[in-house]
Structure 1
Amino acid sequence: MINLDFGFGPLEAEFWRLLFVMTRIGAALVAAPMFGTVSVPPQLRVIGAGAIAVMICAWTDVQAPAALFSLAGMLSVAGEVLVGLTLGFVLQLSFAAPVVAAEVIGGGMGLNMAMAVDPTSGTQSPALGQYFMVVLTLIFLALGAHLQWFALVVDSYRAFPPGHTWLGAERFATVAGFATQMFVTAVTIALPVSLVLLIVQIVTGVLSRSAPSLNLFSLGLPAGVMAGIAALVLSAPVLTDLVVRLSADAITATSEIMRK
């Protein structure tokens, strides 16, 4: 069946089937923001992919290619990886919106110098971005969106059975369209605070021209930080509504990829 035979018969066939199913699930978990972070041990991702694969093997009749280590088998595995990475990448785009908004807000407040290691990517990101990321993660989990995403990953075996995993131009366009929507959401999150910071900077500039003896940096930086914090507190309900909508849109975009 797989061009390898260790003499275990049907048990070995089920093992290769399980390993083949784990390919798509593992790729989705690696690309997903919460499950593919550097803080999550690879062993835990393998255990999670194996647990979901056991259920899929029990619920569906997905079969591994007849010759897994042939050219056709490797192409089938590559298709599984493509589908899994796409499903996880859509979720990754939704989690990128608060980080983009934090870059814009932090630049206006002068807080981009306060950098911290982002546990989701392992790179440096603004401290304000960590706050937005925590809010998005909590709301995403509280809404049960992660369970809906797992359900879509399982349902992807019906929409994209092995051997029919080429997504096509329409589905890639859907992913690109959601990326555009992500940037729009990021601008919407940053807009209220950015407007307040713009007003503060204009007032600071007028005061510096009216009284040149004033130190612009000693006056403008504390005023910008205080105004930004006040604007963040006042716009917290707007941030919550946008994050809820962003989580729902991520699940909707994932389901649209499988419907097209």
Structure 2
Amino acid sequence: MIQLEFGFGALEEEFWRLLFVMTRIGAALVAAPLFGIPSVPPQLRVIGAGALAVLVCAWTEVAVPAALFSLPGLLAVLGEVVVGLALGFVLQLAFAAPVVAAEVIGGSMGMNMAVAVDPNSGTQSPALGQYFAVVLTMIFLGLGAHLQWFALIVESYRTFPPGETWLGTGRFALIAGFGVQMFATAATIALPVCLVLLTVQLVTGVLSRSAPALNLFSLGLPAGILGGLAALLVSAPVLTDLVTRLSREAIVNASQVIAP
């Protein structure tokens, strides 16, 4: 059994309690799409986790394992990390839906060569996907969903205090269901634009058959891009409603993850 003591009494006990509470919050911030991106300084995440941990310590009676550096204590820390990662991963699934939809739309438009650096992963992704991600981020912040997510993190200490069993097959099935929901939402976002692009491709195909002298590549690519942009412009209100619903569903899914 390993236990570190520095002789500061109650102050030292509160310090270890604060660090223990910060474990779940810090893991959630690292896994979340908005706060875990490489452009956010780690110091800012530590400050945010510390501020929320102070609130949790004042609001709940979270108890630190008797020997934090023993095997039971390390398992308790690991359990806190898993809960935090799950809360952040649910948001990642929600933010992945418009990016997946943009991949499909961009491929149909022939715009997959237009790429930009994804701030979430640091890799290249279609520029159209970055546009959808920015729209989702603005709506997510505008609705105050990030504040609701912070409230869910704090609430998780009441529904699942440290040391209680949280992980199970039911939780895995629930998160997997959120993944299926993400693909369904991505298909809903991409379907209207893809139907317009399919119509454009059918028209260009008929024209190329009726007038073989026309160059299919010089006609089809501009027509596909113009048709896709026009479809995105016309369907912008519908896409906004879908993204707004997606932001609300992300918070609902996160609340279901920590439901007792």
TM over 0.5, shorter chain: yes
Question: Are 2:81 and 1:81 equivalent residues in the alignment?
Answer: yes
Q: Does the CA contact (< 8 Å) of 1:2 and 1:65 recur in 2?
A: no
The 10-residue stretch of structure 1 (188-197 or 200-209) with the greater mean CA deviation from structure 2: 200-209
Could you say which residue in structure 2 is the equivalent of 1:205? 205
Q: Report if aligned partners of 1:83, 1:165 keep a CA contact under 8 Å in 2.
A: no
Equivalences for 1:229-244 in 2 at 5 Å?
Answer: 229-244=229-244
**Equivalent residues of 1:99, 1:133 under 8 A apart:** yes
Q: CA separation of 1:25/1:165 partners in 2, compared to 1, >3 Å: closer, same or farther?
A: farther
Which AA in structure 1 matches 2:144?
Answer: G
Give the partner amino acid of 1:224: G
For the residue of structure 2 that corresponds to 1:259, the secondary structure is: coil
TM-score (norm 1): 0.98
> Distance in 1 between the 2:214 and 2:130 partners?
34
* Alignment gaps of 5+ in structure 2: none
Q: What's the C-alpha RMSD, in Å, of the aligned pairs?
A: 1.1
Q: What is the alpha-carbon distance in structure 2 between the residues aligned to residue 48 and residue 119 of structure 1?
A: 20
Q: Which residues of 2 match residues 1-260 of structure 1 at below 5 A?
A: 3-260=3-260
Of residues 152-161 and 76-85 in structure 1, the stretch that sits farther from structure 2 once superposed is 152-161
C-alpha separation in 1, matches of 2:81 and 2:7? 29
**Runs of 5+ in structure 1 lacking a partner?**
none
Deviation, 1:167, is 2.3
Question: Alpha-carbon deviations, 1:123-164, whole Å to 9, x = none?
Answer: 111000011001100000011111111000000011111111
Aligned 8 A contact 1:37 1:119 in 2: yes
For 1:126 and 1:106, the matched residues in 2 are separated by 7
Question: 1:148, 1:96 → 2: CA distance?
Answer: 20
- The one-letter code of the counterpart of 1:107 is G
Shift, 1:165, TM fit: 4.0
Matches of 2:75 and 2:113, distance apart in 1: 46
Aligned residues: 260
Which amino acid in 2 is paired with 1:249? E
SS in 2 for 1:125: strand
Letter of the 1:170 partner, please give it.
Answer: G
Residues 93/250 of structure 1: CA separation in 2 closer, same or farther (3 Å cut): same
Deviations 1:229-254 (A, max 9, x none): 00000000111111111111111111
Q: Residues of 2 paired with 1:96 and 1:26: CA distance?
A: 21
Q: Deviations over 1:189-224 (max 9, x none)?
A: 000100000000111111111112211111011110
- Tell me the distance in 2 between the aligned counterparts of 1:123 and 1:159: 37
Distance 1:2 1:26 in 2: 24
After alignment, is 161-170 or 75-84 more displaced? 161-170
State the alpha-carbon separation in 2 of the partners of residues 192 and 239 from structure 1: 10
